[in-house]
Amino acid sequence: MPFPELPPLITEALTAQGYAEPTPVQAAVLEPDAIGRDLVVSAQTGSGKTVAFGLAMAAKLLEVGGNGPARAPLALVIAPTRELALQVSRELEWLYAKAGGRIVTCVGGMNAALERKSLSQGCHIVVGTPGRLRDHLERGALDCSKLNYVVLDEADEMLDMGFREDLEEILDATPSERKTLLFSATMPRPIVALAKRYQKDALRISTVGDDRGHGDIVTQAVAVSPAEIEHAVINLLRFHEAETAMLFCATRDNVRHLHATLVERGFAAVALSGEHSQSERNSALQALRDGRARVCVATDVAARGIDVASLSLVIHVEVPRDAEILQHRSGRTGRAGKKGTAVLIVPYPRRRRLDMMLKQARIPAEWVPVPSADAIRERDRERLLETLAQPVEASNEDRALAAQLVDMMTPADLALALIAARKGAMPEPEELIDISAKGGADTGAPMDGPRQHGDFDDAPWYRMDIGRRHNADPRWILPLLCRRGHVSRNMIGSIRIAANETYFQLAKGAESKFRDAVKRTAQPGAEDESGITIEPSPTSPAHGPNKGPAGAARRPSQHQARPKPPRHG
């Protein structure tokens, strides 16, 4: 449907930007019952919410401000991060440009004195981050007395980042009759309390269901052993060869570790997390925009507000904690009509949780295998042939050099040199464990390929205090045993999983080394894999693993919390 009636200068701005019809959130804030009211809006990243609140304020701001000179600001927009604030400013600038709207941005990392000078010269809208706005308010540079609107963009993130006191001080300084527009992807209890305190008869708008899973983003999920998450990242990057890719980790430590790994492997990568200064963030974003870097490793909060036009691949290195974060991350790609791909790397024990999350978010996802080394090399061949088939504009100097090379080398040698040069510029793919076939659980089948009969005849059995009720699976148990016991895969024989415990065979020659290593790496009560008990089993599981061999240690109940497999960033 077309836009409803708007001020002519705003309509002209929308037309100039190619807007033919509103997005769901834009249409919702322009409904008759939403005009002139406090609003609480749930809308996802990439849904057009910045233009939405710009349109919601337009009629009143143009009525009050008219074509007169800018004086005290009429609207205040508060955003959690510098990048998001700058992005909001850019959107509002074109939206209000024809109407003569003056926008001032106040964010950390910029020259505060210049911002105060801009504020003193008058403006219609101020966009800023909570800390910097509070500073200007306390210094008397920010005049809130004439505000008609206050917009809290990404309100949930601002509270998560500890800006509650800043927000309350700013809101307490605004006129009681001003309208408050609160935009938040999620509605936790603190957001509800904030809305109740600072809004009157607010209209609740939610377009989450309309915006989710839009067709511009293809969502895929790959199941991996927890020990091979980084290898999966490398193969996904190599397989897709995206112009720009963003990788999401849960913590700054994991960002640091994964970034170092990728740089060491030859990827042009940058990192964004809370430990980076503003100048480092600026340099990283500029490197992404001008093509010097193609991969960005980031935490969720650090990536807020980042808008890179060439971003076509998002990789969830660690499974997001809820559907809202999943949507926020994936929404960084597939914008402005462009296609994007979002890939979730899922440790085998967490498959069920992700399926529930995808169902809750109503996002269709395809489970696919991690690209193998052979599949990546085949894609490399296809990309090379496609690139070479493109017409080339060459200078006379280039043509002369090409003729010289043809005289020096045979066509086959030239082609081989070209292939070697291209391969040398790309990191090698990883060989991963094939977990596409089920096999191995509760059957005694070894996980590392067939062995000669008799390899593990009379081999001792060991016991772990985790089982099916704790999501135990051979695909992550085998790497866990290798890490804890400092043994290779071929030292582990059959793996049999019962309800509350798991049994496995260990090669006789590896017993002493294995026991010593398991003892050194054990941390009883720990929440990670070091808290899992590994001990010799007095009898084989043939005597009844579901009941437990005679003399086995007491099993945990099915409700007892178990250490979770490690997550790698």
Q: Tell me the pLDDT tens digit for each residue of 236-285.
A: 999 999 999 999 998 889 999 999 999 988 899 999 887 887 778 888 88
Separation between Cα atoms, residue 554 and residue 399, nearest integer Å: 78
Model confidence at 363, pLDDT cuts 50, 70, 90, reads: confident
Of 527 and 311, the structure prediction assigns the larger pLDDT to 311
The arithmetic mean of pLDDT across residues 414-433, rounded, is 78
In terms of Cα–Cα distance, which of 447, 419, 247, 448 is closest to 330?
Answer: 247
Rounded to an integer, what distance in angstroms lies between the CA atom of residue 336 and that of residue 88? 16
Q: Rounded to the nearest 10 degrees, how much is the dihedral formed by the CA atoms of 82, 84, 86, 87?
A: 160
Q: What is the mean pLDDT of residues 81-101?
A: 90
- pLDDT: which is higher, 109 or 152: 152
Instruction: State pLDDT tens for residues 435-471.
Output: 543 333 333 333 333 333 335 777 889 999 998 888 7
pLDDT digits (tens, 9 = 90+) for 103-141: 999 998 789 999 999 999 999 999 999 999 999 999 999
- Fold for 8-211, please state it: Rossmann fold (3.40.50)
Q: What is the model's pLDDT at position 427?
A: 82
| pLDDT surpassing 90 at residue 358 | no
Round the average pLDDT of the chain to a whole number and report it: 82
pLDDT of residue 84: 85
**pLDDT at position 2, please?**
74
Strand, coil or helix: 141: coil
Right CATH number for 217-374 from 3.40.50.300, 3.40.640.10, 3.50.50.60, 3.40.50.740?
Answer: 3.40.50.300
Secondary structure of residue 389 in the 3-state scheme: coil
Task: Report pLDDT for 439.
Answer: 34
Q: Tell me: the pLDDT tens digits for 163-220?
A: 889 999 999 999 999 999 998 877 778 888 888 899 998 999 887 654 444 447 899 9
Q: 290-313 pLDDT, tens per residue?
A: 889 999 999 887 776 676 778 899
pLDDT confidence of residue 53? 93
Structure confidence at residue 449 (pLDDT): 39
Quick one: pLDDT at residue 280? Answer: 85
The 3-state secondary structure of 186-197, one letter per residue: CCCHHHHHHHHH
Higher pLDDT: 427 or 230? It is 230
- Judged against a pLDDT cut of 60, whether residue 400 lies above it is answered with yes
pLDDT above 60: residue 537 = yes
pTM over 0.85: no
Report pLDDT for 563. Answer: 46
Fold type of domain 437-569: Alpha-Beta Plaits (3.30.70)
Fold agreement (217-374, 437-569): no
Helix (H), strand (E), coil (C) string for 404-431? HHHHHCCHHHHHHHHHHHHHHCCCCCCC
Show me where the domains of the chain are located: 8-211, 217-374, 437-569
Give the pLDDT of residue 239: 94
